[in-house]
Amino acid sequence: MEYANLRRQAASLKRSLFDQGYLDEQFCQVEDLQDEASPNFAEEVVSLFFKDSARLVTNIEQAMWRS
């Protein structure tokens, strides 16, 4: 029962992120690449994206302060 509830919550969150424009068709394409051999593939890609984004924003801020 708890598993079904968590799946519903995850689906609701995902729908909300689509509705708000945070996710798009590209996210669906990443999800399609996920399979039993790599069940956390989409999570890993999204995590890497945010880590890289944070690093790039920091680099941009530093470059702006140097200018």
DSSP label at residue 7: H
pLDDT band at 67 (very low <50, low <70, confident <90, very high): confident
**Structural domain for 17, as ranges:** 2-66
For residues 20 and 12, the answer to whether their CB atoms sit within 8 Å is no
What pLDDT, on the 0 to 100 scale, is given for residue 18?
96
Domains of the chain: total? 1
Q: Which residues pair with 38 in a beta bridge?
A: 35
Q: Tell me the pLDDT of the chain averaged across its residues.
A: 92
**What digits encode the pLDDT tens for the residues 26-58?**
999 999 999 999 989 989 998 999 999 999 999
Asked whether the whole model's pTM tops 0.95, one would answer no
